[in-house]
Amino acid sequence: MDDAQVPEQTAKSTAESATGAISAQDRIEIAEILAFSSHLLDNRQWDMFGEVFVPEVRLSAPQGEFDGPAGVRRFVESVDLARFPATHTLNSIVEAVDADTAVCWSRMLLLTWDRRVACGDYIDTFRRTADGWRIERRTVAPRNDSASVALAEGGYAPAPYAYAMFDDAVLAAAGRTRR
């Protein structure tokens, strides 16, 4: 790398931070929190949910609304844990809202105990805290659960479709609404 490029890149990074974009390091930290949340779920380490969620986290799922890390635990325990994962994998995109807020859309793939794969989407709103990035809101949208088998023949997108949920979460985090 040409040394003359380094100050320009640093100045660009500083300018991006000043305008509300998040840095590459922020994106790495968010990705690590998402990965860690998967490990905590897979290992059923509920007592460590404070490492990934803010105390006032709200989780929305077809089963209802759940508040706080204890609510996240109640949600997880309300699903059929016997069929859910030893392996919980996410691939995610991150949309910066401002320097301290980001929204992630993650596709989750769950290898179930009976060797089937379940999948769905997480829409997470992240907030920068004194302890680093934490999830303050999570929306769960299953994609191929047993209740949706009848929809699978022609392809299946959850209702509401996850992209619209992602878009709405970005707008809500920015204090705006859909026109």
- Residue 56 to residues 22, 46, 121, 147, 161, Cα–Cα distance (Å): 23, 16, 21, 30, 26
Lowest mean pLDDT across 18-22, 24-28, 68-72, 171-175: 18-22
For residue 5, the SS3 value is helix
Per-residue confidence (pLDDT) for residue 20, from 0 to 100: 59
Using a pLDDT cut of 90, give the percent of the chain over it: 43
Q: Is the pLDDT of residue 2 over 50?
A: no
pLDDT in tens, 128-168: 999 999 999 999 988 765 555 444 444 445 555 566 777 78
Is the overall model pTM greater than 0.75, yes or no?
yes
> How is the chain split into domains, by residue range?
24-145+163-173
Instruction: For 77-126, give the DSSP string.
Output: HHS-TTTS-SEEEEEEEEEEEETTEEEEEEEEEEE-TTS-EEEEEEEEEE
* DSSP-assigned letter for residue 179: -
Q: Is the pLDDT of residue 47 over 60?
A: yes
Alpha carbon 23 to its chain centroid, in Å, reads 18
Per-residue confidence (pLDDT) for residue 159, from 0 to 100: 53
Q: Which two tokens stand for residue 31?
A: 């990705």
d(CA 148, CA 47): 32
Going by CATH, does the domain composed of 24-145+163-173 fall within 3.30.1280.10? Answer: no
Is the pLDDT higher at 18 or at 52?
52
